[in-house]
Amino acid sequence: MTVRLTTVIIANVIMGLLLYLSSQLVLSVLNGETLSGFNIFSFTYTVTFPPNSTIAVAPTPVPNFPFYVFVAFIVVNAYFIIKLQRDKGTKQNLSYNNA
């Protein structure tokens, strides 16, 4: 049981680190830029220039990596919960059969 618990803890630490790093990536991309659009799958930002500049830049989409990592986090934890429930059920059935 301790090996399985250690695996779950390590997986959650790795997923938490990925969630932190992906949010830092999005924040560093958006630092100093104007957010012009947002949906669940991507951000759209526009580069800001000095007011007297004549350079026009089209809005640039950035994938919403924190959302993708969060979904992966939920899927991995659901997998571990289902696997632990199955293992727990199997152990309970074996103990009743031996008695």
Residue 93 has pLDDT above 80, yes or no: no
**Angle at Cα 3 formed by Cα 99 and Cα 8, nearest 5°?**
115
This model's pTM is above 0.95: no
Q: Which residues contact 42 (CB under 8 A, 6 or more apart)?
A: 61, 62, 63, 64
Question: Higher model confidence: residue 83 or residue 50?
Answer: 83
pLDDT at 94: 55
Q: 98 falls in which pLDDT band (50, 70, 90)?
A: low
Strand runs (DSSP E) across the chain, as ranges?
Answer: 34-38, 42-46, 60-63
Residue 28 has pLDDT above 90, yes or no: no
